[in-house]
């Protein structure tokens, strides 16, 4: 007697994407799409009703992001197996999804075989990351030893504040700001303030201000 197929909940706000995934996944004998959702809120409701083996979750969703939906699902159902399936592949966003409880990430540009492998892996409660992404995320987690004060200054740099403005905002001297900026550039091995901000966002050391 063959084992029961893995049940999949697809969460994506694009109907065409969901339809394509349903067709692709159900070509295999060991998977069936049990439900679809177009938002994070609907995903939580669908999970409660269907208890799927795997949740295939996009990151960019209306109102509640894929990261927030993953965190909510895992808080309510710690055994939920979430696989991120998204083109939104900035390292710190993927790391945030993993921190929220996702077991893996696959790009929408990945080959079908990789997607199927990822689904089967995550269904066992195991992590799935491509080797190159796993290496990138290790670098993100390690990162340079940036202090809390330097993170504050990086946030100001990212929105274009000059040293004088940063000094006033943080109630420190302009000389102290210059010293911190120099240390930041050295620690991150970059040549200027713009590169430092971009690299800090890429590594997940800070978020781009709204």
Instruction: Provide the residue-wise pLDDT of the chain in tens; the chain has 210 residues.
Output: 557 899 999 999 999 999 999 999 989 999 999 999 999 999 999 999 999 999 999 998 988 999 999 999 999 999 999 999 998 667 778 888 888 999 999 999 889 999 999 999 999 999 998 887 887 777 666 556 778 888 889 889 988 899 999 999 999 999 999 999 998 888 877 888 888 888 777 766 665 555
pTM: 0.69
Q: What is the pLDDT of residue 33?
A: 96
Give per-residue pLDDT as tens, 111-160. 999 999 999 999 999 999 888 788 777 766 655 677 888 888 988 998 88
Q: How far is CA 168 from the centre of its chain?
A: 34
158 Cβ contact partners less than 8 Å away, ≥ 6 residues apart: 197, 200, 201, 206, 208, 209
Q: How far apart are CA 106 and CA 89, in angstroms?
A: 9
- CATH class assigned to 6-140: alpha beta
Q: What is the pLDDT of residue 96?
A: 83
Where does the chain hold its CATH 1.10.10.10 domain(s)? 144-202
**182's tokens:** 């120099």
For residue 105, the surrounding DSSP H or E stretch is strand 104-107
Q: How far apart are CA 25 and CA 123, in angstroms?
A: 14
Tell me yes or no: is domain 144-202 CATH 1.10.10.10. Answer: yes
Q: Report, in angstroms and rounded to the nearest whole number, the Rg of the chain calculated over CA atoms.
A: 21
Cβ pair 53, 164 in contact under 8 A: no
Where does the chain hold its CATH 3.40.50.2300 domain(s)? 6-140
């Amino acid at each position: 007697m063959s084992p029961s197929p893995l049940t999949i909940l697809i969460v994506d706000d694009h109907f065409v994407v969901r339809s394509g995934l349903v067709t692709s996944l159900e070509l295999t004998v060991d998977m069936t799409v049990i439900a679809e959702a177009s938002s994070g809120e609907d995903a939580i409701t669908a999970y409660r009703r269907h208890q799927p083996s795997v949740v295939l979750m996009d990151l960019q969703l209306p109102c509640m992001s894929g990261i927030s939906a993953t965190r909510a699902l895992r808080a309510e159902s710690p055994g939920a197996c979430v696989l991120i399936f998204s083109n939104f592949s900035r390292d710190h966003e993927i790391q945030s999804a993993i921190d929220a409880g996702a077991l893996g990430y696959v790009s929408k540009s990945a080959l079908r075989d990789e997607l199927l492998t990822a689904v089967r892996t995550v269904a066992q409660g195991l992590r799935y990351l491509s080797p190159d992404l796993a290496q990138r995320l290790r670098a993100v987690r390690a990162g340079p030893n940036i202090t809390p004060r330097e993170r504050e200054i990086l946030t100001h740099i990212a929105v274009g504040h000059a040293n004088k403005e940063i000094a006033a905002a943080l109630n420190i001297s302009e000389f102290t700001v210059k010293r911190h900026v120099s240390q930041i550039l050295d620690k991150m091995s970059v040549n200027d303030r713009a590169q430092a901000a971009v690299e800090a966002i890429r590594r997940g050391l800070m978020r781009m201000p709204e």
